């Protein structure tokens, strides 16, 4: 059976400002079935932002992914799955990828959370007082320092000692 491949290539910018290029491929073909006349499968290929995007490789991967996809659209009328309808599905899928990349890229949500946490901590560090900076230096030099201070303070509280330094 003859296959028709349509593709769309697009990109999105992630939480860190990095560009991800991607290809969505739609492969339609006639099927030899009593109930259905045509099927459509969608495949996606997303390039890692640190890799050089090669559209031809993206198309090959997306087409291969479409063939192994468990999601299919069937039509009992061959004219229903046509270029215009498939283009609309490709545009819709590309928009969805740009809006929800975490649904396609494994680990995306965790990476986004780590990135945002790192930004938050960097901002917090910038706003440290001299005292907070001194405490941090002391903890870096002696990680057990805080534990010792907390143990001592708990002892003071248990003894009813309210010392001011």
pLDDT band for position 21 (50/70/90)?
very high
Cβ neighbors of 57 (< 8 A, separation 6 or more) are: 45
Domains in the chain: boundaries: 3-106, 114-159
Could you read off the pLDDT of 30-40 as tens digits, one per residue?
A: 988 889 999 99
Say whether pLDDT at 161 is over 90.
no
Cβ neighbors of 100 (< 8 A, separation 6 or more) are: none
Predicted local confidence at residue 153, as pLDDT: 87
User: What's the whole-number average pLDDT of the chain?
Assistant: 93
Which among 66, 70, 78, 69 is positioned nearest to 32, based on CA atoms?
78
Say whether pLDDT at 165 is over 70.
no
Predicted local confidence at residue 22, as pLDDT: 98
Can you give the pTM of this predicted structure? Answer: 0.79
Cβ neighbors of 55 (< 8 A, separation 6 or more) are: 9, 21, 23
Say whether pLDDT at 164 is over 80.
no
Could you read off the pLDDT of 122-143 as tens digits, one per residue?
A: 999 999 999 998 888 888 888 8
| Residue/partner pairs of 122-126 with CB below 8 Å, 24 or more apart | none
Predicted local confidence at residue 142, as pLDDT: 87
Say whether pLDDT at 163 is over 90.
no
Distance CA 122, CA 125 (A): 5
Q: Percentage of residues in the chain with pLDDT exceeding 70?
A: 98
Mean pLDDT within 39-65: 97
Say whether pLDDT at 77 is over 90.
no
């Amino acid at each position: 059976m003859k296959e028709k491949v349509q593709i769309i290539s697009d990109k999105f910018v992630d939480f860190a400002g990095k560009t991800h290029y991607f290809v969505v491929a739609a492969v339609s073909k006639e099927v030899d079935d009593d109930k259905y006349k045509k099927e459509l499968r969608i495949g996606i290929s997303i390039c890692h932002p640190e890799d050089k995007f090669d559209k031809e490789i993206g198309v090959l991967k997306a087409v291969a992914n479409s063939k192994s996809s468990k999601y299919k659209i069937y039509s009992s009328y061959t004219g229903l799955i046509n270029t215009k309808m498939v283009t609309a599905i490709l545009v819709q899928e590309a928009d969805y990828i740009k809006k929800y990349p975490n649904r396609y890229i494994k680990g995306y949500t965790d990476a986004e959370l780590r990135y945002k946490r790192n930004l938050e901590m960097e901002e917090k560090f910038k706003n440290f007082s001299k005292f907070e900076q001194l405490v941090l230096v002391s903890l870096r030099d002696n990680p057990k320092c805080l534990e010792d201070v907390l143990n001592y303070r708990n002892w003071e509280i248990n003894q009813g000692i309210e010392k001011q330094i």
